[in-house]
């Protein structure tokens, strides 16, 4: 998985090619959509029955339980490092009486985690949150770079900034630069960090030239 990110590969397409046993170039949109559900669900240890329900909800595809099990097995066989991490985390939780202390990449703790999916989810989602908060800190520290720009709101993993229209490009570069730098520090440059920017006249993203 790290190699795929480093190479700039389409991870959902890659997963689909492994699960369905076809060339990456032959993956259909439906197969990629199903693989997207696999990536986001199985990363956090989702079981076959829950995966079956999730795929039905997200794609409308009804899988047999044995198909969901086979997809999970192929997913873990493809991303062996992920499978080892799952197994190690579950062993550690068992050794500590069914509860585990988790840590993000920045070292932030969460105590008494008992559910398997939460023990896998917390370090990943928590590390993303650490990077996001660090980005906001960097943007505040470096606010003099674009003095007329203002951060307005943070929603999940998105920031909304407002500025004079003639400073839109400079503000976009400011946001991208510090969001990338913050997350690169969190992951220790293990994978490239991408930041998507939308420029618009309003929060709906109406084009500037409209």
pLDDT at position 171, please? 97
**For the chain, what percent of residues have pLDDT higher than 70?**
100
User: Structure tokens of 87?
Assistant: 């197994």
The helix or strand, by DSSP H or E, that contains position 158, with its residue range, turns out to be strand 158-162
Q: What is the pLDDT of residues 143-153, one digit of tens each?
A: 999 999 999 99
* Mean pLDDT score across all residues of the chain: 93
Q: Is the pLDDT of residue 196 over 70?
A: yes
Residue labelled with tokens 């829950």: 50
Confidence of residue 59 (pLDDT cuts 50, 70, 90): confident
Spell out the domain ranges in the chain.
2-78
Q: Are 137 and 189 in contact (CB under 8 A)?
A: no
Q: Is the pLDDT of residue 167 over 70?
A: yes
63-77: average pLDDT: 93
13-28: average pLDDT: 94
137-164: average pLDDT: 95
What's the whole-model pTM score? 0.86
Query: What distance lies between CA 210 and its chain's CA centroid?
Result: 32
Query: How far apart (Å, rounded) are the C-alpha atoms in residues 171 and 207?
Result: 16
175-201: average pLDDT: 95
User: Structure tokens of 81?
Assistant: 């490092």
Query: What distance lies between CA 54 and its chain's CA centroid?
Result: 17
SS3 26: helix
Q: Is the pLDDT of residue 191 over 70?
A: yes
The helix or strand, by DSSP H or E, that contains position 187, with its residue range, turns out to be helix 168-187
Confidence of residue 204 (pLDDT cuts 50, 70, 90): confident
pLDDT at position 210, please? 60
pLDDT at position 156, please? 87
Residue labelled with tokens 């400073």: 167
179-192: average pLDDT: 96
CA distances from 64 to 34, 39, 76, 80, 198 (A): 14, 19, 19, 24, 40
pLDDT at position 209, please? 81
198: closest CA among 208, 188, 189? 208
SS3 184: helix
Q: What is the pLDDT of residues 102-125, one digit of tens each?
A: 999 999 999 999 988 999 999 999
């Amino acid at each position: 998985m790290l190699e795929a990110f480093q190479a700039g590969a389409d991870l959902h397409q890659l997963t689909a090619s492994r699960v369905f046993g076809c060339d990456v170039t032959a993956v259909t949109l439906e197969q990629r959509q199903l693989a997207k559900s696999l990536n986001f669900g199985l990363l956090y240890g989702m079981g076959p029955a829950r995966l079956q329900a999730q795929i039905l909800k997200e794609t409308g595809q009804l899988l047999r339980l044995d198909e969901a099990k086979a997809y999970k097995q192929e997913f873990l066989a493809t991303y062996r490092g992920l499978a080892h991490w799952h197994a190690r985390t579950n062993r550690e939780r068992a050794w500590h009486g069914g509860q585990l202390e988790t840590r993000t990449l920045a070292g932030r703790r969460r105590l008494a985690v008992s559910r398997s999916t939460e023990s896998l989810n917390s370090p990943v989602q928590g590390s993303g949150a650490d990077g996001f908060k660090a980005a906001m800190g960097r943007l505040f520290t470096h606010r003099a770079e674009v003095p007329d720009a203002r951060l307005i709101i943070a929603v999940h993993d998105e920031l909304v900034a407002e500025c004079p229209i003639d400073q839109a490009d400079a503000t976009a570069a400011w946001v991208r630069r510090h969001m990338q730098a913050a997350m690169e520090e969190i992951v220790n440059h293990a994978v490239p960090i991408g930041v998507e920017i939308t420029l618009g006249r309003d929060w709906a993203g109406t084009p500037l030239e409209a």
